[in-house]
A and B are shown apart, each in its own frame.
Chain A
Amino acid sequence: MSFLRPETGASQHATLPQPAPLERSAFLPPVHAYRRARGFSAVYQGTRSALRALRANALRSLLTSLGIIIGVGAVIMMISISEGNAAAINQRLSALNPTQLTIFPGSARGTGGVSSGLGSAQSLTLDDANAIAQLSHVTAVSPLINAQGQLVAGDQNWSTSVVGVAPPYQQIGGWQLQDGSFISQDDEDSGHTVAVLGQTVVDNLFGPGADPVGQSVRINGVPFTVIGVLAPKGTTGGRNADDVVYVPYTTARQRLSGGRSLGQIVLTADSTSNVGLVQNEVEQLLEQRHNIANPQLDDFQISNQLQVLQSVQGTNQALTILLVSVASVSLVVGGIGIMNIMLVSVTERTREIGIRIAIGARPRDVMTQFLIEALVLSILGGLIGIVLGPVGAWVLTHFTTTPFVLDPLSVLLAFGVSALVGVVFGFYPAQRAARLDPIVALRTE
């Protein structure tokens, strides 16, 4: 039985509907009861329709996302660059032993005075070093004298720093021996002319792979016997740690530095947490031994490598926080952009909202729709930013010496923040949409 057509109707009308016959008198079968559960399917539907709405306004959506793109990209880029910097600095600082203290002779007063006074004053004695060795929490103490030496072996010669040290220095410097042995207490006590060579020195004087132990080498014209070769440490932060020669401290003092007094005293504490304690003990001990009542007038200065390490790392951390907070501001600005456009969108689509409410959308449905739209905008922006940020950081590392480091946590964080921005700044417009009066909304042109 056809619809709208009387039995008498002979001819076809061009625009008349021609529906299929229906069962009984019902116009459509009844709808089963559905649970109005909001789950994955609602989010899926919402995301699909949000993508569609955003595609309808592609340019506007892109411009809106731009704030988030730049924000997320900048945050990732800044974190990457800061971490690259930190990695470079840490590499340079890895030669430092955090438990090591160095005592320089000379006054600490005035920066100019320090540089000229350091090492030149004759205030530190071997007895000072021996007294320090008796202190608790001190694991090793060695006096140290730095000299520049011209080394000659056969027809080869090499200029490098020659350092006079006591036997405990092996432990302080963390040196392993490849061949032979380190300076012994007997060498030290008797002032033997023996030398321990770094790998670079061996390579240059005897050729790579040679075993020079037992051979003779002249340092500033004085013949020394090679008793050991140090295991290579490699280059750390531009300084070649293997380009060094160690001789007994007494020998260096008598034969190489022209009878000069003790250069420095180096010592190590038993742990990083005791470094401060040991430093105070040493300071008190030396003040007592040198009869100094006022710490301002100390004739020595203690340098703490842990402090150097911490201050450099602290500076880097502060820089990171600064850069990331500047980048975060752009994320917030991006969020405000999203809020602005979502408000415009709600106003523009007032009628659509009215229609949706009229056909049975709950306030929650409308809210979800606009929230998902804001979320999709910010997450899409975030994803583009996640691609652009590392690319920017990578390009920048090509103009600087810092290595390219990408922390997956920073990417995750930036992405999470962009999603959060979407929810936070999308909430108010979505709420406004959900609270629209359907009658007013339907009347809107």
Chain B
Amino acid sequence: MEQREQWQADGHRAYPLVRVRQLVKNYYLGHTIVPALRGVDLDVWPGELVALMGPSGSGKSTFMNLLGCLDQPTAGRYLLSGVPVDELSPNELADVRNRSIGFVFQNFNLLPWMTALENVELPLTYMQMPAEERRRRAEMALTLVGLRTRAHHRPTELSGGQQQRVAIARALVTSPTLLLADEPTGNLDSQTSVQIMGILQELNRRGLTIILVTHEADIAAYCRRQVRFRDGRVVGDTLNSEPLEARLQLTHDHDHEQEGRKVTS
């Protein structure tokens, strides 16, 4: 874990962004207890790009929901930037989701009757930001994902990749410290998937911590760290010394467009 040691040496980054200890989550089906997480320990350090992998039912989605403060653990600790999230009130949790966490979903989850710009503005309305500043920030976020010119289009008028970019802009607009992406490329073709991974990698390069769930090894290959789940436990935590670079692939793919759009090995 030489990367972690280096961060710790930096001093100001000595504390993990996400610290999870013995996290347990049980679901109740009638009187039967269904354990989804059986004690997970994990630290995610600022600036990491982590892929959570595992078969369905392995607990990775449950873990994401807990990380995203959408759900409360049955037992265990979850510190986000040192804050014990498991002790927060519903309103405080809402504020954490609003300010500290950005969500990107597999099926984009944009509100169809709103324009791209209004969708991106939505998180800001919940922090009571004045309309003018809200609009300016939303435009900046859309510019960041390259969709400034599509600001007044509705989601149905955008391609899947564009919709996901709007969703990323919405996740970024409050300047969160953590971006959670649940199968962000699950509904996209491979070419578009590489573009989305390119955006995520670029954001990560600029300092954003990203945790994404995927069951595709192709996508995980873009991430420096890969955490494997099985039966509610972490069974593997490996560093990928040479993650794929989406931007190189995109240009590579462009140069060899005649040979097809295959972008992953």
A, B co-complexed: yes
Q: Enumerate chain A interface residues (CB-CB to B < 8 A).
A: 3-6, 8-9, 11, 13, 15-20, 22, 25-31, 34-38, 41-42, 45, 52-53, 56, 351-352, 354-365, 438-439, 442
State in angstroms the CA–CA spacing of A352 and B172 once bound together.
19
Inter-chain contacts of B19 with A (CB < 8 A): none
Q: Is the CB of B109 within 8 A of A351?
A: yes
B65 contacts chain A at the CB level, 8 A cutoff: yes
Which listed residue, A19, A358, A364, touches B143 by the CB 8 Å rule?
A19
Q: How many Å from the CB of B92 to the closest CB on chain A? A: 9
Q: In the complex, which of the residues B95, B147, B202 has the most CB atoms of chain A within 10 Å of its own CB atom?
A: B202
* Cβ contacts B66-90/A at 8 Å (1 or 0 each): 0010110000000000000000001
Other A-B pairs, 7, CB within 8 Å; known A16-B250, A29-B175, A357-B97: A6-B247, A25-B207, A29-B140, A34-B127, A359-B98, A360-B94, A360-B99
State in angstroms the CA–CA spacing of A52 and B126 once bound together.
18
Q: Is the CB of B105 within 8 A of A442?
A: yes
Q: Is the CB of B128 within 8 A of A361?
A: no
Main secondary structure of the interface of B (DSSP, over half): helix
Q: Is the CB of B128 within 8 A of A439?
A: no
CB nearest neighbor in A for B203: A27
* B235-262 interface (Cβ within 8 A of A): 246-248, 250-251, 254
Q: A-B pairs with CB below 8 Å: how many?
A: 137
Inter-chain contacts of A25 with B (CB < 8 A): 206-207
Contact (A27, B145) CB under 8 Å given A35-B128, A360-B123, A361-B126:
no
Inter-chain contacts of B250 with A (CB < 8 A): 4, 13, 16
Q: Is the CB of A27 within 8 A of B111?
A: no
State in angstroms the CA–CA spacing of A22 and B140 once bound together.
10
State in angstroms the CA–CA spacing of A34 and B98 once bound together.
12
Q: Is the CB of B123 within 8 A of A359?
A: yes
B217 contacts chain A at the CB level, 8 A cutoff: no
Q: How many Å from the CB of B176 to the closest CB on chain A? A: 9
Q: Enumerate chain B interface residues (CB-CB to A < 8 A).
A: 65, 68, 70-71, 90-91, 94-95, 97-99, 103, 105, 109, 111, 113, 122-123, 125-129, 137, 140-141, 143-148, 161, 165, 170, 172-175, 195, 198-199, 202-203, 206-208, 246-248, 250-251, 254
State in angstroms the CA–CA spacing of A19 and B97 once bound together.
26
Which listed residue, B70, B128, B143, B203, touches A357 by the CB 8 Å rule?
B70
Contact (A20, B143) CB under 8 Å given A360-B95, A360-B174:
yes
Q: Is the CB of B170 within 8 A of A359?
A: yes
Q: Is the CB of A56 within 8 A of B122?
A: no
Which listed residue, A5, A56, A355, A360, touches B127 by the CB 8 Å rule?
A360
CB nearest neighbor in A for B169: A28
Q: How many Å from the CB of A430 to the closest CB on chain B? A: 16
Q: Is the CB of B109 within 8 A of A30?
A: no
Inter-chain contacts of B91 with A (CB < 8 A): 362-364
Inter-chain contacts of B90 with A (CB < 8 A): 362-363
Contact (A27, B254) CB under 8 Å given A22-B144, A56-B113, A360-B94:
no
Q: How many Å from the CB of A356 to the closest CB on chain B? A: 7
Inter-chain contacts of B68 with A (CB < 8 A): 358
Inter-chain contacts of A27 with B (CB < 8 A): 144, 172, 175, 203, 206-208
Inter-chain contacts of A354 with B (CB < 8 A): 109
Inter-chain contacts of B65 with A (CB < 8 A): 439
CB nearest neighbor in A for B113: A56
20 residue pairs of the A-B complex, CB under 8 angstroms, read A4-B246, A15-B161, A16-B146, A17-B146, A19-B144, A19-B146, A19-B148, A22-B206, A27-B144, A27-B172, A27-B207, A28-B175, A34-B128, A351-B109, A356-B126, A358-B103, A359-B122, A359-B123, A359-B126, A360-B99
